Amino acid sequence: MGERLSKTGSKARAIATIAVLGALLAGGFFGDDDHFPFGPMRMYSTTNEVDGPVSSIHLEGTTVDGEVVAIKINAIGMRPAELDGQVPRFRADPSLMRSVLETYERTNPDGYDLVSLRLVRGIHQLEDRKEISYSEELIAEWTSG
């Protein structure tokens, strides 16, 4: 069998346990994503309404032939949430879309030959859990030329 802790060791372990449990409890009530693991991850601890607007972000490009094509966000090595997090930067400086287009061209040498790239937010309006309307908001666009 293992050795027993001294009284000092037992007290230190109890204090550490109480401190960690206290931090977890306080984080559960007052914490946010930035406090993880002592705060809840919002995406796992909340729910969204089943009615109302639901938005998604996507890329679309225009080829040299004038065809509008959907560009998968993972084709530029990002996840939609990563690109969505950069929306304020693209709104403030749409010329940043040029670097997104260059990344697409570099990572997809056999992909579409694009002359423009747009970052678009699609907004699905739900009512009674069904889509009743769809609209789009242009966030940023870059056109070569």
Query: In this predicted model, what pLDDT tens digit does every residue of 47-102 receive, in sequence order?
Result: 667 788 989 999 999 999 999 999 999 999 899 989 999 999 999 999 999 999 99
Which tokens is 105 given? Answer: 């061209």
| pTM (global) more than 0.75 | no
Strand order in the sheet with 130-143: 68-71, 52-63, 114-127, 130-143
**Angle subtended at Cα 116 by Cα 112 and Cα 119, rounded to the nearest 5 degrees:** 100
